[in-house]
Amino acid sequence: MAIKLLKLFLLVPFFFFSCNEIIDIDINSSDPQIVVEATIGLKEPAEVRISESISLDDNGVYPGIENATVKLIDSDGKSELLTKTTTAGKFVSNNILGEINKTYHLEIKANNKIVISNSTIPNAVPIDSFKVTNTIYPGGGAPLRPEIPAPFYEVSVKFSDPINEKNYYRCVLYLNGIAQNRNNIYDDRFTNGKQMESFMVIYYPEMESGDKISVEFQCIDKSVYEYFKSMGNSAMGPRNSSSPANPYTNLTGSLLGYFSAHTVERREFVVLK
């Protein structure tokens, strides 16, 4: 028995030291891909950002593609070549604005490739209520004494889902104009015809008087919902940018990005301390 235990003790250090080997993984870099972030909101111009994907070992931002042609056509046949702005890779419409129940066809020519997509602005569903509550922790309520820190802000957006149609929603949360890294999308599969709520929480101990918490409530079409659903809880950049993980896309000709035609309603809360 003593001999067996001695053999075991001798094997244990051998096991740990023999596993301490550094493995160098060679990650192949793929060719740059076109990345599209395109939107047209209700009564707002189209905004299209075109960039190139970067390799995994590059921590920089996606470089904008300036030498591109962007065309937008609505379901009435009205067309427009979008104007290039001073921001690299950003193009906007001047004549075409978003309208309810219109489908928009987007066509991009860049880097000898063609990217196309279609998206429709659905019926608008208005916000019923918008409320921001300062709490000591999520669900904890307001502080009982002034000296108790309350670094959380609960944001509630309530809206009534129409009973006679299928609806998809997206709520974008902003802090001082910067979109927060979360993916707030909803459908009415289990809440058809009922009041729904988008409940979000901001943790920001550095909040000061005059800071602004705002939301952008959107009614989106199914393809846009599927895009953001495929991203799951992945973090999004400052513009809710497309994920590098190849989610579902409603683009043809590119694997990265989306085109969203949607309604828009915005609400804002100014912090007072």
Give the mean model confidence (pLDDT) for residues 171-194: 95
Determine the Cα–Cα distance for residues 8 and 198; give it in Å rounded to an integer.
Answer: 58
Domains and CATH numbers, the chain: 34-120 (2.60.40.10), 127-238+262-270 (2.60.40.10)
Determine the Cα–Cα distance for residues 80 and 73; give it in Å rounded to an integer.
Answer: 7
Classified as helix, coil or strand, 76 is coil
Residue with the larger pLDDT of the pair 239 and 73: 73
pLDDT at 14 over 60: no
Of 32-36, 94-98, 224-228, 235-239, the range with the lowest mean pLDDT is 235-239
Q: Which residue has the tokens 């409940």?
A: 199
pLDDT score, position 241 = 46
pLDDT at 19 over 70: no
User: In the chain, what percentage of residues exceed pLDDT 90?
Assistant: 73
The pairing of beta strand 34-41 with beta strand 256-262: parallel
Of 8-12, 140-144, 253-257, the range with the lowest mean pLDDT is 8-12
Residues 183-194 have pLDDT tens digits of 899 999 999 999
Structure tokens at 238: 């400052």
What average pLDDT does the structure give for the chain?
86
Structure tokens at 159: 């809206």
CB 37 within 8 A of CB 49: yes
Burial 221-257 (b: 16+ CB within 10 A, else e): bbbbbbbbeebeeeebeeebbbbeeebebbbebbebb
Structure tokens at 183: 């993916």
pLDDT score, position 57 = 54
